[in-house]
Structure 1
């Protein structure tokens, strides 16, 4: 069952774990992987899960449920992390140099899935925010090695220029004659 927003939902920085959380009622709390250094100042105190957050979260759940075959709990986890990143992380500058360029122009919008290529590997990403030149994407694979000393973990975000996004390969259907 997909979790739908309620008026009692509140963002709250969890000092004991050092990450942003969201209270989903009196007995349920969800922790994001986002630490204080990546968050805007408002995220470090109690902050309302407002109508914009709810709308984005619901639209993302709808998109993801059509594009990914995952259990509901995983879809909720993706949507909550993406909502937190979209609204409560500090703005980023593009760091496209870590990724290979694509020869194909893509249309990027929140909720779309793409690959980025880094060090010969294809990494699945989710667009969480976009503008004319670049998109902020969230890693969906377990890890992306950017260099010998730097990596991104699942749910971490990075901003890249659109020419670094690769459309997902279409599933080829073979029909026997």
Structure 2
């Protein structure tokens, strides 16, 4: 997976109408956040900070168990860093999701599940804002929110915490009986 360094730079590409991250060595990452969801400072060139590198490492560790490819994990982690730094505040859209009996109090980088009448998907928590959290979808396949609306990999949505559950990773232990 990628290793952040002090030559990485955020910039806005007006031709591509997108926030980009210059990774050096002729590699550029295009952030998936729509322009309408970016805060004003996203249009200024700035360095990939130590805080960004720390966030990248935190997200990378929290998604390490997900069943997606290494390049997709890098994409998810970089988009999560971009969202944590440059995403505009948004109102919750919790009506798409079913309330859970207890809900949860997620922290940044937690993996949670959200359920609609169409299925269940895993999300990465970008920021907990008290009673609601900004979440990024981790599923590769599109996830139906309703009959007419769906989310794609790395799309963000803000959801009330009473709609989410902590993701429980199934761990298989290979134990041998001795004796």
Q: Could you say whether these structures have the same fold, taking a TM-score greater than 0.5 normalized by the shorter chain as the test?
A: yes
- 1:56–1:169 Cα change, 3 Å: closer
Looking at structure 2, the residues matched to 129 and 39 of structure 1 have their Cα atoms a distance apart, in angstroms, of 15
CA contact (8 A) 1:109 1:129 kept: yes
Of the candidates 69, 87, 92, which is equivalent to residue 89 of structure 1? 87
SS in 2 for 1:7: coil
Looking at structure 2, the residues matched to 150 and 74 of structure 1 have their Cα atoms a distance apart, in angstroms, of 23
Long gaps (5+) in structure 2: none
Looking at structure 1, the residues matched to 78 and 28 of structure 2 have their Cα atoms a distance apart, in angstroms, of 11
SS in 1 for 2:102: coil
Give the Å deviation of 1:85.
0.9
Trace 1:56-67 onto structure 2 (pairs within 5 A).
Answer: 56-65=55-64, 67=65
Moved more, 112-121 or 162-171: 162-171
Long gaps (5+) in structure 1: none
Aligned residue-pair number:
174
CA contact (8 A) 1:96 1:159 kept: yes
Trace 1:94-105 onto structure 2 (pairs within 5 A).
Answer: 94-105=92-103
Looking at structure 2, the residues matched to 40 and 28 of structure 1 have their Cα atoms a distance apart, in angstroms, of 24
- 1:131–1:14 Cα change, 3 Å: same
Looking at structure 2, the residues matched to 3 and 166 of structure 1 have their Cα atoms a distance apart, in angstroms, of 30
- 1:162–1:25 Cα change, 3 Å: same
Looking at structure 2, the residues matched to 90 and 117 of structure 1 have their Cα atoms a distance apart, in angstroms, of 24
RMSD (CA atoms)? 2.3
CA contact (8 A) 1:118 1:144 kept: no
TM-score, normalised via structure 2 length: 0.86
Looking at structure 2, the residues matched to 6 and 170 of structure 1 have their Cα atoms a distance apart, in angstroms, of 31
Looking at structure 2, the residues matched to 36 and 82 of structure 1 have their Cα atoms a distance apart, in angstroms, of 15
Aligned to 2:160: 161
SS in 2 for 1:73: helix
CA contact (8 A) 1:36 1:44 kept: no
Looking at structure 1, the residues matched to 47 and 121 of structure 2 have their Cα atoms a distance apart, in angstroms, of 33
Aligned to 2:38: 39
Looking at structure 1, the residues matched to 5 and 14 of structure 2 have their Cα atoms a distance apart, in angstroms, of 24
SS in 1 for 2:51: helix
